[in-house]
């Protein structure tokens, strides 16, 4: 009797699976549901970790990897495609800028990372600006309508360069880094205060993704209660936060999983239109700096930030610092 029930259930689940697939194909053919496509420019350590994480989370139907080193992009694409082949139909390919066309999101990760000598990410500016300008010129032609996420460091200045060069709406071109800083902030607080990361709310970092980052202490709740940080705790946590990336680069040469995971949280918010509040770098008033915004299909909508006097002062200082490094798009 039980075996009969199981056989019948199995048959129905097969039929349901078949119908679901047919319905899905029909809807795609009739353009009822859109395929989600993400391109990642740069197939190095961070680009490949980002593409891998997108594939594992199953949030896109197609992932395109582009790198000046075409063989590297091809190898990474094959490896990532095989990592999901038993569980999903996600297409993972290497290509050039023609293949980027039609992307919903483009993540720019190519360029030089920090090495042993660059302590401030701004020191990468001279090394990466011409390269990013060249990529932005290409995206202007092939990625119209896409949301661009600029990750290459210094990500705030690079984001402004991408936005100026493409001429795309400020809301559609986001610099990445503050969300990673915010994840690090949460992890450091949890260690210092001996609580679980998921008990912490409102731990955001805005301003520069760099030395002038602004951790916001005044809105943090732990277990639902506003926490008041001592001056000593604030100073210790801020110091640990500023060194967080450096500690990892010193040990293993680069940061990969932390940034990749937070980049993909941002990509997911766009693709799924979640409108969740995320810290992102947006061009406003002559510089791209990290602010809080609702991120969804149309890009990032800035929200009102409740900053105490110290937070506002540090934020203005960060904006001024970034503006001082602005590069021309011509």
Ligand X SMILES: NC(=O)c1ccc[n+]([C@@H]2O[C@H](COP(=O)([O-])OP(=O)(O)OC[C@H]3O[C@@H](n4cnc5c(N)ncnc54)[C@H](O)[C@@H]3O)[C@@H](O)[C@H]2O)c1
Cα(222)–Cα(262) distance, integer angstroms: 22
Q: 49 vs 84, which CB is nearer to ligand X?
A: 49
72, 78, 99, 222: which one contacts ligand X (CB under 6 A)?
Answer: 72
Cβ 94 vs Cβ 105: under 8 Å: no
Distance of alpha carbon 324 from alpha carbon 318, whole angstroms = 10
Q: Verify binding: residue 177, ligand X, rule CB under 6 A.
A: yes
Sole window of 67-75, 163-171, 182-190, 227-235 interacting with ligand X (rule: CB under 6 A) = 67-75
Interacting stretch for ligand X, rule CB under 6 A, among 14-22, 36-44, 91-99, 233-241?
36-44
Strand 105-108, strand 37-41: pairing? parallel
Which one among 80, 103, 113, 206 touches ligand X, defined by CB under 6 A?
Answer: 113
Binding residue for ligand X, selected from 78, 131, 195, 240, defined by CB under 6 A: 131
3-state secondary structure of 274: coil
Return the residue nearest ligand X (CB atom).
44
Footprint of ligand X on 263-322 (CB under 6 A): none
Residue 278 Cβ, how far from ligand X at the closest point, in Å? 13
User: How large is the angle between the packed helices 155-166 and 125-142, nearest 10 degrees?
Assistant: 30
Let me know: does 278 contact 204? Beta carbons within 8 Å: no
DSSP state of 34: P
Residue from 176, 185, 204, 315 binding ligand X (CB under 6 A): 176
State the virtual CA torsion across 56, 59, 63, 68 in degrees, nearest 10: -70
Of 152 and 238, nearer to ligand X (C-beta) is 152
**Closest CB to ligand X among 61 and 136?**
136
Catalytic site residues? 209
Distance from the first to the final alpha carbon of the chain: 77
Give the DSSP per-residue string, 89-122.
--EEEE--HHHHTT-SEEEE--S----SS--SGG
Which one of residues 207, 215, 259, 279 is an interface residue with ligand X (CB under 6 A)?
259
CB atoms within 10 A of CB 49: 24
* Residues in 144-173 that interact with ligand X by CB under 6 A: 151-153, 155
Give 98 or 224: the residue with its C-beta nearer to ligand X: 98
Contacting positions for ligand X (CB under 6 A): 41-47, 66-69, 72, 109-114, 124, 128, 131, 135, 151-153, 155, 176-177, 180, 209, 254-255, 259
């Amino acid at each position: 009797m039980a075996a009969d029930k199981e056989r019948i259930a199995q048959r129905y689940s097969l039929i349901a699976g078949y119908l679901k697939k047919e319905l899905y194909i029909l809807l795609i053919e009739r353009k009822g549901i859109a395929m989600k496509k993400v391109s990642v420019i740069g197939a190095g350590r961070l680009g490949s970790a980002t593409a891998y994480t997108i594939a594992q989370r199953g949030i896109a139907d197609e992932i395109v990897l582009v790198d000046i080193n075409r063989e590297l992009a091809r190898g990474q694409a094959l490896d990532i495609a095989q990592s999901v082949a038993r569980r999903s139909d996600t297409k993972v390919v290497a290509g050039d800028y023609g293949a980027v066309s039609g992307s919903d999101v483009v993540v720019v990760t190519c360029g030089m990372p920090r090495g042993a000598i660059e302590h401030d990410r701004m020191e990468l500016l001279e090394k990466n600006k011409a390269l990013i300008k060249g990529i932005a010129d290409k995206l202007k032609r092939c990625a119209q309508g896409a949301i661009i996420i600029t990750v290459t460091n210094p990500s705030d200045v690079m984001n402004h360069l991408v936005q100026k060069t493409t001429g795309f709406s400020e809301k559609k071109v986001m610099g990445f880094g503050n969300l990673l800083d915010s994840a690090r902030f949460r992890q450091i607080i949890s260690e210092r205060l001996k609580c679980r990361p998921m008990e912490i709310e409102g731990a955001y970092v805005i301003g520069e993704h760099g030395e002038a980052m602004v951790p916001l202490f005044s809105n943090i709740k732990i277990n639902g209660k506003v926490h008041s940080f001592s001056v000593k705790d604030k100073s210790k946590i801020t110091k640990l936060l500023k060194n967080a990336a450096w500690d990892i680069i010193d040990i293993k040469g680069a940061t990969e999983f932390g940034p990749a995971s937070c980049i993909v949280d941002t990509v997911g918010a766009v693709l799924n239109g979640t409108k969740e509040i995320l810290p992102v770098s947006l061009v406003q008033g002559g510089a791209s700096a990290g602010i809080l915004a609702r991120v969804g299909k149309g890009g990032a909508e800035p929200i009102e930030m409740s900053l105490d006097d110290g937070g506002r002062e540090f934020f203005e200082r960060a904006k001024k610092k970034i503006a001082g490094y602005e590069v021309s798009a011509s």
